[in-house]
Amino acid sequence: MRSPQVIYVDAVGTLFGVRGSVGEQYAKIAADFNVSLDPRLINRAFYEVFQIAPRIAFPNLPQSDIPNAEYEWWRSLAEKTFSQTFDLAKFLDFEGFFKSLYAYFATAEPWFIYEDTRLALDEWHQQGITLGVLSNFDSRIYAVMENLGLKDYFSSVTISTETGAAKPDPLIFEVALAKHQIEKSPDLAWHIGDSFGEDYMGASAAGISAFWLNRDRQPITNPAKQSARTIDKLTSLAIR
């Protein structure tokens, strides 16, 4: 395998994660609106709703309309989550709550950086490797990365809402490659992410050398996963 000219990394679950759980963070903001929630129920419902939601991408939408589309996508997800747990009726001002929640997730407060993240990023920088973020995320990622002190590590940020395509769609990978003028030589890039389907399979299909980040060391019974390049932390990636 050729040494990479560019390394792309996923964001949530790869560089940083949600502190505690989504349910805990939602319950924290709900308490400011005098609403008591069971974080475990909210967390379970959130991921059930998230799994069946359409990927967060808006093909052919004008750039000026994307921020509102992002907001409405997440608002719908939150509303369905609270409907599933029968908590929606508890909110006297759901719109006010959701505005607060949405803004909160653009701050550093609900997030934590994995302990291996900066170690890996510093090492790659010392090796002269260009870095890019490639994520199914919305435009709040710019504020999150700045607030977490990660922004300066990256030369590019490619997100699904601005691209109009979400991983594993080849288009988002093609857009990321074009930003570094290597769209015709995808083997010059590596991609690392915690989703086997979106990150590993998506990047591999685009001709990029992919690595599946199995942070939780999930048991691997799927033959496709067994043959995948797998690491359990970013610092496990050896570059020669």
Predicted pLDDT of residue 239? 78
Q: Residue 24, class by beta-carbon neighbours within 10 Å (0-12 exposed, 13-18 middle, 19+ buried)?
A: middle
The Cα 165–Cα 175 span in angstroms is: 10
The secondary structure of the chain, three-state, reads CCCCCEEEECCECCCEEECCCHHHHHHHHHHCCCCCCCHHHHHHHHHHHHHHCCCCCCCCCCHHHHHHHHHHHHHHHHHHHHHHCCCHHHCCCHHHHHHHHHHHCCCCCCEEECCCHHHHHHHHHHCCCEEEEEECCCCCHHHHHHHCCCHHHCCEEEEHHHHCCCCCCHHHHHHHHHCCCCCCCHHHEEEEECCHHHHHHHHHHCCCEEEEECCCCCCCCCHHHHCCCEECCHHHCCCC
Query: In this structure, are residues 39 and 24 in contact, taking their beta carbons and an 8 Å threshold?
Result: yes
According to the model, what pLDDT value does residue 113 have?
A: 98
Identify residue 181 by its one-letter amino acid code: Q
pLDDT value, residue 222: 76
pLDDT score, position 235: 94
pLDDT of residue 238: 74
pTM of the predicted structure, to 2 decimals: 0.93
For residue 31, give Cα distances in angstroms to 39, 94, 182, 200: 11, 12, 48, 38
Among 4, 2, 6, residue whose Cα is nearest residue 132: 6
Domains and CATH numbers, the chain: 6-16+110-236 (3.40.50.1000), 20-104 (1.10.150)
- Residue 72: predicted pLDDT: 98
**pLDDT under 70 in the chain at which residues?**
1, 240
- Provide the pLDDT for residue 218: 77
